[in-house]
Chain A
Amino acid sequence: EAQVTQNPRYLITVTGKKLTVTCSQNMNHEYMSWYRQDPGLGLRQIYYSMNVEVTDKGDVPEGYKVSRKEKRNFPLILESPSPNQTSLYFCASSSTGGSTGYTFGSGTRLTVV
């Protein structure tokens, strides 16, 4: 089944403790991206990658890192999480330019205390 897999689904952590949210897709998509969703603010893009070793900032990149060493994986790294990063996070993938539409993962609900 074609899908985007995120892990974990739920995560509670403490301020300052580094964490990684994994994202993997099995559709051989070139394009992958991360979004956060907050009440009243909608979905905002954090980082995106147009192919292996190519990443770029989205609208809200502060406090996040990403890497794209392999085509299928695009992990999101929070080096020193803070409470304002408490949010629902989504990973998405698409073929080049979004021509076949975007597929989203099931989401990761992160709480930083």
Chain B
Amino acid sequence: KQEVTQIPAALSVPEGENLVLNCSFTDSAIYNLQWFRQDPGKGLTSLLLIQSSQREQTSGRLNASLDKSSGRSTLYIAASQPGDSATYLCAVVLGQGNLIFGKGTKLSVKP
């Protein structure tokens, strides 16, 4: 059964730092991988989608990479800002369309 793990569970950094969030999955037979952001008590906002044939995707200060063979993805956030504080969720899409989530990394960026 596919399992998705995110490390660390929580992270606190000073403003301006570059940081990396990690996501690992146990079965490399994924269709694609999607990173989301969730603010407390709110919905999920899609950040980046990486197709299984791609290695990375970029949007502004965010860069996500995917290594299917090793079962890993990373989300890189450049020049972090207090507004980046949120929980970041990694999810893999299986062949039939099911989405399996990690438990997230709670990020706090201190001014």
The number of residue pairs between A and B whose CB atoms lie closer than 8 Å in the complex comes to 66
Whether A105 sits at the interface, judged by CB under 8 Å, is yes
Q: Contact check, A102 vs B96: say whether CB atoms are below 8 A apart.
A: no
Of B18-26, B76-84, B97-105, the one contacting chain A is B97-105
Evaluate contact between A107 and B97: CB separation under 8 angstroms.
no
Residues of B within 8 A of A43 (CB): 89, 91, 101
Instruction: Say yes or no: A92-B99 contact (C-beta < 8 A), given A102-B46, A106-B43, A107-B43.
Output: yes
The residues of B that contact A61 with a CB separation of less than 8 Å are none
**Interface bracket on A:** 20 to 34
Contact with B along A22-45 (1 / 0, CB 8 A): 000000000101010000111101
* Tally of B interface residues using CB under 8 Å: 24
B63 on interface, CB distance cutoff 8 Å = no
Query: Which residue in chain B gives the minimum CB-CB distance to A103?
Result: B46
B31, B34, B97 — most chain A CB neighbours (10 Å): B97
Which 4 A-B pairs have CB atoms at the shortest separation, nearest pair first? A98-B93, A101-B49, A42-B103, A104-B44
The interface of chain B, by Cβ under 8 A from chain A, is: 31-32, 34, 36, 41-46, 49, 51, 89, 91, 93, 95-99, 101-104
Which A residues are closer than 8 A to B by beta carbons?
31, 33, 35, 40-43, 45, 48, 50, 58, 88, 90, 92, 94, 96-107, 109
